[in-house]
A and B are shown apart, each in its own frame.
Chain A
């Protein structure tokens, strides 16, 4: 019986669970698939309904987690095998090569500017900016260590020449690590649904139809445009923006469930547009306005009254494009006048469904736990054991077990930490 804990996923939920467990004096291994912790919250500009800068409130937690003496953070790593039982799990972790010695790299960025091939889409900035073959995942990345995209790297060696620390190792090998833990917390988050399959909205065909996560990067001061809403077709600021809700969610052809956060993030995004450009006209097309959290209804009321956001209850049937201006044109059924109407705007933001993250099925198989019919982790009891998975000693929290917002994810993460401590204490007794 050991009382170390493995946390899978380094978003806000995984970070919080790790900090709570480490605070109790337990040893934690935090495994993150990407080269930095931070998760989706790191990509958001502001958060609703308080307007806090997302990375500004998250970054201290990322650092607290990374520098905690009881937490081992393993980035660019994946869990490949789990055997044993609660109190005694043997876990195999694959640490993928980043072709850089994490101990030696100072994150100075000299190599980044030395790379002559800057034409790859930057994943963190939703491909709205290019990065080189050697890059830092994002400005506030933790750990701040570069990594090499070996798939595209031509091994010109410029980066190795310029690196004073001698940190670059283009022949680094994957490493397999085995750990022994008593409990496992899964917090592997979500992905944004790809709306190109919804042909009638023209995502991928029309440049000025973008997703909400792309919009978050666009409106963010540390994003690719420095916070200027330069629309993709002509890099000019649009006069009007329409946000379309339930794209791929509440839709039997894609995801039947409600993604729970889109009504609110659209409201926030519209408010941000108005704050950046006081003359901006904002429209939100919605199905049901779901403002059910603390202070949410009041936030929507403010958006309507103070920020002049226009809420239209309708699910648009089609988006076309004005060939000259590249303005998207929305065709929708006005449920009040019962007429088909057209609205031409400068930019359309699709509030896409949030779906279980890529690879969740493989992870579930490795862990030996069940998924529900929407492919989120199944919970042991929907009333009284909402954080227990189908297997003893494995807890699930955050979006990977069902739609929820940041405070709910943080709450569940802390709850999962308490449950892990409880499971370990009961096994030890």
Chain B
């Protein structure tokens, strides 16, 4: 490009004491002022604060800056902010360069001010070298297909589909079973309202099935999803036949399943050792035999080696079912053996207290000495060490109910591979940021809700479904998305059509057509893998060009000033 004089402004952030505590910031500012092409350098207590941003905008105007460097924290959280600040002052946002002197310097050299200051100077020098060669880029606008696919027809999927459809978008709701409703179909009554689970769900199912904007694909399997945000090409299998459609965004609401407690507490060995889910079914079908005594055991398989997490909902499920048994048989003797009761929030604590008032007994066991279930003639016998009494308790019982965690199912694992979205250590789908992006995937245009995300009760699943619908609805409402201009470009003269890059691309963004490389820019994430693979140097990545990177590296070893 034709470049007039390069005028770089450098802004060095104290980040309170995070940087200023171990780096001599004024010295770095002085140093930066003498670097080539730098016409302005200043320091800010917090460059990201309102006054810092104003300082950047003012300096762009006052000093006619055409490159801006901020040396502060991480681009992961702050680059969008500084880029938009540059844009507001009329500077192309790709003329902004970020230097991380917090994570890469002050935090790791906290006790060495001299060393940290020297390293900061080097990092800033490298930033200046790169900034000098930066070029403005134009972002591509992609049209968005104004429809969404929701995978999973449980309460989360139903809610997400209904909300999006009510907002005026076409929704494809895909369910592998023949009927909608998911796990709630198998439950008896729900707390805190006491409604019959399926009855309470029927209006939502009816609303979805009768909605003119929603196409329900039950008994369907997802076969393939290609494309990218705004333009996903979906292939389903229905009765062996392929169905194809196009959607702009996708919501994953594939649910979870109950952990099967094989080998725990006589499960599978004794008839009257069952899970909470089996108890729900017995209650629902009116098949529960009169039980004068029931023992429920919490955290079976959870908070331990098989499943490391707490499954969140099982304590309240146990308390609810214990109360329902008490309603049928007020004289029933019910013990809940637990390892801390998870009655979080307002309503659950109240229910927990009510259960105790009803005479349901709670015994705290320790994971080191868990309960032991054996058969004593016709009756089950549960031995448990009561931590609070310091005594071994012996309970004869008609029924043992095991509270087991919710876990990921095989279908979920397959969907994760198909959509190329990650699972966490706990095997549940893994969100983009645990705190601030709880229902987004790192992949644009795909969202997450319900128990596919982790154990959750109905209201939590509904909230998540609405949240996912918010995320999925934004690009649909706008009608377009902008793609970051860091995609790869090819010099077709130099390309020999070897196809190595196509194989290496993790995002399926490259294709070889008639021996010539084609780039699907919307899919390219700018990882640079193909650039490094190309044997002829025919590929170049926008904003991370070879000359920019090489000049940055060179400047480490060739200090331009003393």
Hey, which bits of chain A sit against chain B, CB under 8 A?
12, 16, 20, 23-25, 47, 49-50, 52, 56-61, 63-64, 66-67, 106-108, 139-145, 221-222, 226-227, 250, 256-258, 260, 288-298, 301, 313, 335-338, 372, 374, 376, 381-387, 402-404, 406-408, 410-419, 421-422, 425-426, 429
Q: In the complex, which range does the number of interface residues on chain B fall in? A: 35 or more
Of B46, B167, B424, the residue contacting A139 (CB under 8 A) is B46
- Which residues of A are found within 8 Å of B349, using beta-carbon distances? 250, 256-258
Contact B345 A295 (CB under 8 A): no
- Which residues of A are found within 8 Å of B16, using beta-carbon distances? 139, 221-222
Contact B348 A258 (CB under 8 A): yes
User: What 1/0 flags go to B272-286 for Cβ under 8 Å of A?
Assistant: 000000000000000
Instruction: Give the docked Cα–Cα distance between A413 and B454 (Å).
Output: 19
Contact B50 A52 (CB under 8 A): no
The 8 closest A-B pairs by CB, nearest first: A415-B466, A144-B50, A414-B467, A418-B470, A257-B346, A222-B16, A386-B459, A288-B340
Residue of A nearest to B52 (CB): A144
In angstroms, how far is the closest chain B Cβ from the Cβ of A50? 5
- Which residues of B are found within 8 Å of A56, using beta-carbon distances? 73, 77
- At the interface, is chain A mostly helix, strand, loop or mixed? loop
Instruction: Give the docked Cα–Cα distance between A313 and B88 (Å).
Output: 55
- Which residues of B are found within 8 Å of A404, using beta-carbon distances? 345
Contact A386 B462 (CB under 8 A): yes
Residue of A nearest to B184 (CB): A383
Instruction: Give the docked Cα–Cα distance between A58 and B309 (Å).
Output: 27
Contact B435 A297 (CB under 8 A): no
Q: A382-B193, A415-B467 are in contact. List 17 more A-B contacts (CB 8 A).
A: A12-B436, A25-B478, A57-B77, A61-B436, A66-B50, A107-B50, A108-B51, A139-B16, A142-B49, A144-B49, A227-B17, A258-B346, A293-B312, A386-B459, A410-B437, A415-B463, A415-B466
Instruction: Give the docked Cα–Cα distance between A296 and B455 (Å).
Output: 13
Contact B192 A387 (CB under 8 A): no
Contact A335 B388 (CB under 8 A): yes
Show 20 residue pairs from A and B whose CB-CB distance is below 8 angstroms, ordered by the A residue. A23-B474, A23-B477, A50-B434, A60-B81, A107-B50, A140-B48, A143-B50, A227-B17, A250-B349, A258-B345, A293-B454, A336-B387, A382-B459, A383-B195, A386-B462, A386-B463, A410-B438, A411-B467, A414-B439, A421-B477
Given contacts A257-B350, A384-B458, A415-B464, contact A422 B163 (CB under 8 A): yes
- Which residues of A are found within 8 Å of B466, using beta-carbon distances? 387, 414-416, 418-419
Instruction: Give the docked Cα–Cα distance between A56 and B75 (Å).
Output: 12
Of B45, B81, B88, B435, the residue contacting A57 (CB under 8 A) is B435
- Which residues of B are found within 8 Å of A411, using beta-carbon distances? 438-439, 463-464, 467
Residue of B nearest to A252 (CB): B353
- Which residues of B are found within 8 Å of A291, using beta-carbon distances? 310
Instruction: Give the docked Cα–Cα distance between A50 and B341 (Å).
Output: 24
Residue of B nearest to A291 (CB): B310
Q: Is B248 an interface residue (CB 8 A)?
A: no
Contact B473 A24 (CB under 8 A): yes
- Which residues of A are found within 8 Å of B465, using beta-carbon distances? 415
Q: Is B303 an interface residue (CB 8 A)?
A: yes
Q: Is B308 an interface residue (CB 8 A)?
A: yes
Instruction: Give the docked Cα–Cα distance between A47 and B163 (Å).
Output: 31
Number of A-B contacts (CB under 8 A): 234
- Which residues of B are found within 8 Å of A382, using beta-carbon distances? 192-193, 347, 459
Instruction: Give the docked Cα–Cα distance between A414 and B462 (Å).
Output: 12
In angstroms, how far is the closest chain A Cβ from the Cβ of B378? 35
Instruction: Give the docked Cα–Cα distance between A410 and B460 (Å).
Output: 12
Instruction: Give the docked Cα–Cα distance between A190 and B348 (Å).
Output: 19
Residue of A nearest to B472 (CB): A418
Q: Is B204 an interface residue (CB 8 A)?
A: yes
Given contacts A258-B344, A258-B349, contact A294 B77 (CB under 8 A): no
Name which of A63, A106, A142 has the most chain B CB atoms within 10 A of its CB.
A63
Contact B340 A414 (CB under 8 A): no
Of B49, B200, B342, B344, the residue contacting A59 (CB under 8 A) is B49
Which residues 27-65 of B have a CB within 8 angstroms of A?
A: 45-46, 48-51, 53-54
Instruction: Give the docked Cα–Cα distance between A50 and B431 (Å).
Output: 13
Residue of B nearest to A395 (CB): B466
Instruction: Give the docked Cα–Cα distance between A64 and B78 (Å).
Output: 10
In angstroms, how far is the closest chain B Cβ from the Cβ of A401? 10
Of A16, A289, A292, A418, the residue contacting B163 (CB under 8 A) is A418
Contact A407 B345 (CB under 8 A): no
Hey, which bits of chain B sit against chain A, CB under 8 A?
16-18, 21, 45-46, 48-51, 53-54, 73, 77-78, 80-81, 84, 88, 155, 159, 163, 166-168, 190, 192-193, 195, 200, 204, 303, 308-310, 312, 340-350, 353, 387-388, 390, 424-426, 428, 433-439, 453-454, 458-460, 462-471, 473-474, 477-478
- Which residues of A are found within 8 Å of B467, using beta-carbon distances? 410-415, 418
Residue of A nearest to B477 (CB): A24
Contact B463 A412 (CB under 8 A): yes
Residue of B nearest to A143 (CB): B50
Instruction: Give the docked Cα–Cα distance between A382 and B458 (Å).
Output: 9
Of A63, A288, A407, the residue contacting B342 (CB under 8 A) is A288
Contact B345 A419 (CB under 8 A): no
Name which of A290, A338, A413, A414 has the most chain B CB atoms within 10 A of its CB.
A414
Given contacts A60-B80, A290-B340, A418-B470, contact A335 B387 (CB under 8 A): yes
Instruction: Give the docked Cα–Cα distance between A222 and B15 (Å).
Output: 9
Contact B460 A408 (CB under 8 A): yes
Of B345, B460, B470, the residue contacting A414 (CB under 8 A) is B470
Contact A294 B17 (CB under 8 A): no
In angstroms, how far is the closest chain B Cβ from the Cβ of A12? 8
Contact A294 B426 (CB under 8 A): yes
Contact B469 A383 (CB under 8 A): no
- Which residues of A are found within 8 Å of B53, using beta-carbon distances? 63, 67
- Which residues of B are found within 8 Å of A296, using beta-carbon distances? 309-310
Given contacts A258-B344, A298-B308, A384-B458, contact A221 B390 (CB under 8 A): no
Contact B462 A336 (CB under 8 A): no
Of B73, B342, B462, the residue contacting A384 (CB under 8 A) is B462
- Which residues of A are found within 8 Å of B454, using beta-carbon distances? 293-294
- Which residues of B are found within 8 Å of A257, using beta-carbon distances? 345-346, 349-350
Of A256, A290, A415, the residue contacting B344 (CB under 8 A) is A290
Instruction: Give the docked Cα–Cα distance between A50 and B255 (Å).
Output: 25
- Which residues of A are found within 8 Å of B50, using beta-carbon distances? 63, 66, 107, 141-145
Of A24, A60, A407, the residue contacting B78 (CB under 8 A) is A60
In angstroms, how far is the closest chain A Cβ from the Cβ of B255? 16
Name which of B53, B350, B435, B438 has the most chain A CB atoms within 10 A of its CB.
B435
Residue of B nearest to A417 (CB): B470
Contact A387 B309 (CB under 8 A): no
Contact B309 A294 (CB under 8 A): yes
Contact B84 A292 (CB under 8 A): no
In angstroms, how far is the closest chain B Cβ from the Cβ of A177? 22
- Which residues of B are found within 8 Å of A227, using beta-carbon distances? 17
Instruction: Give the docked Cα–Cα distance between A418 and B476 (Å).
Output: 12
Instruction: Give the docked Cα–Cα distance between A418 and B462 (Å).
Output: 12
In angstroms, how far is the closest chain A Cβ from the Cβ of B332? 24
- Which residues of A are found within 8 Å of B84, using beta-carbon distances? 67
- Which residues of B are found within 8 Å of A57, using beta-carbon distances? 77, 433, 435-436
- Which residues of B are found within 8 Å of A403, using beta-carbon distances? 344-346
Instruction: Give the docked Cα–Cα distance between A336 and B388 (Å).
Output: 6
Of B51, B309, B460, the residue contacting A106 (CB under 8 A) is B51
In angstroms, how far is the closest chain B Cβ from the Cβ of A350? 19
- Which residues of A are found within 8 Å of B342, using beta-carbon distances? 288, 290, 292
Given contacts A407-B434, A407-B435, contact A20 B474 (CB under 8 A): yes
